[in-house]
Amino acid sequence: MTKLEELTALLVNELHHFNKNIERLEKISEQLNKTKIKMDVAEYKTIIEEHKQQMAAHLNSMERFESRFSDKIKRAKIYPTWAVVVFIICIVVTVGLVSYRFMK
């Protein structure tokens, strides 16, 4: 019978510790539920602002490049103006001389 009493006492003792641990866990759980976590996003905001500024600078740079490129394309000519004028004058004179020659 002593073995049975010892086992019963041990079981009662374990149940008592188990109940204490459950109560302690319930208190911790309540504290966790009551605790509000606040995120500090200030650091992320500064990083995002820096990235935004870098992107704006990059966009500005790209727009300036596009503007310069467009201006160069508009100003680019395959032949200089004076060469085109001389060519047209030569064609007019040649047509005039050929027609004069055939009219004679």
Closest C-alpha among 96, 78, 100, 99 to residue 88? 96
Question: DSSP character for 78?
Answer: S
Q: What is the per-residue pLDDT for 86?
A: 95
Q: Where are the domains of the chain?
A: 1-36
The pLDDT tens digits for 29-84 are 999 888 887 777 888 899 999 999 999 999 999 999 999 999 988 887 777 888 88
Dihedral sign, CA of 23, 29, 34, 40? positive
Q: What is the per-residue pLDDT for 56?
A: 97
In this model, does residue 1 exceed pLDDT 70? no
Q: Which residues contact 79 (CB under 8 A, 6 or more apart)?
A: 87
Residue 97 host element (H or E): helix 81-103
Full-model pTM: 0.42
The structure tokens listed for 23 are: 């109560």
Q: What is the per-residue pLDDT for 67?
A: 95
